[in-house]
Amino acid sequence: MTIHTALKPGSVISAVCDSTPIEGEVICVDLTRKIIVLQTTSSGRRDTYDVILVRTDFLRDIKTVREGTVPVYPELNISKLAERIKRNERIQQEKQKFYRPGVPSEVRELVEHIEKTLTEVVWDDPNIIVMEHTKICPPYKEDNVLVNSESTIATRQTAHVRKIVCERFSQAHACRFKDSTWIEIPFLQTTT
């Protein structure tokens, strides 16, 4: 059986590659580069798969286990993709503002900490704007986290941002959330 007849997307094949038997569904065939992409069942959890790229030069004893139909992939919405690309470019441009001269290093560290969970962080000199509803003013502590609007979503987002900022500065002092207000609890210092 030749490579051209056996390797059709959607079909399941078995072959030997470097004296190792492999079996999987053909996802893609690139005859010019002599590469196929196989999807094999993973040895781990159910419904998980491994994807293997194999050069056809290394395949021997190719057999079609099951003929399959070419999978129908959903249509791509080009306008949605273009919009997503533009949005990601805007986000990257906003992130670059944090690395301009004159931006304090503590701001950069705080933003990097916030961006671990939230993506919409903007520099509005000298303030940090998070998700459009929350403003962090200098000196960038949990007491300086302010809400921009009075909607319930905005207050919840601001409470979440306060918690993140408090986490960031937890090495210096502890924070506690009580009755919708933040209370700073200084660490006890003992003298010996």
Tell which wins on pLDDT, 72 or 19. Answer: 19
CATH 2.30.30.100 residue window(s) in the chain: 9-66
Q: Name, in order, each residue with C-beta under 8 angstroms of 57's C-beta and a sequence gap of 6 or more.
A: 34
Give per-residue pLDDT as tens, 70-111: 778 788 899 999 999 999 898 888 888 888 888 888 888 888
Which of 19, 28, 17, 94 shows the shortest CA–CA distance to 59?
17
- 9-66: CATH architecture: Roll (2.30)
- Overall pTM surpassing 0.85 (yes/no): no
Is the confidence at residue 20, as pLDDT, over 80?
Answer: yes
